[in-house]
Amino acid sequence: MLGNREETKILNKYIDQFQAKVYEAQDILIRESLEVTADAIRNQVLGKKEAVKTIIEIFTEHNNKVEALVGKEFAAGTLERYKTSLKHTQDFIEWKYKVKDLDIKKIDNHFISEYEFYLRTVRNCANNSAVKYIKNFGKIVRICLANSWITANWNCNSLLEVFYCQIIVF
């Protein structure tokens, strides 16, 4: 604002400080490789943290639903297979990332190929077993896509990307 009155100077100072906070929030989002949107900047300025969806949390919630439907829509063996898949996923995340759980936004081509590598080498899974565990994990990815917790923009140029394209198609 233009003017020499004290109120104008105070207001201009406040606007400058607020603008600096907005730029700082934008820098933080960029450094953390997060999406820069008006809502994200507002939340950062206000100190609000978005609830982070995690891989193990979603997988566990899925397994709880399957367990509730055993005998109705799922066989007990299906639940056991998903429980084993969850355990392998937990072990992989701890092995690779040294944490208990990861933000679902970390799921990408590199994550899947490293998970497959882990299953075949560290876990010593045969081909069919590794494929089944990757397929089970694919259902978790489809849940995330269907809920718009993650987005996909993949093409099918490699064998591993075929996995992703099948996820998108459902």
Residue-wise pLDDT for 54-66, tens only, equals: 999 999 999 999 9
Closest by Cα among 81, 64, 38, 62 to 143? 62
Closest CA to 134 of 104, 99, 91, 164: 164
Residue type, 98: K
CA-wise closest residue to 120 among 92, 82, 87: 92
Over residues 13-55, the pLDDT tens digits come to: 999 998 999 999 899 888 876 778 888 888 888 888 777 789 9
Query: Which residue reads 């198609």 in tokens?
Result: 169
φ and ψ of 158, to 5 deg: -125, 170
Please name the residue ranges forming H helices in 32-75.
38-46, 55-68
pLDDT category at 153 given cuts 50, 70, 90 is low
pLDDT-derived band of residue 83, with 50, 70 and 90 as boundaries? Answer: very high
**pTM above the 0.85 mark?**
no
Token readout for 101 is 């759980």
pLDDT of residue 100: 92
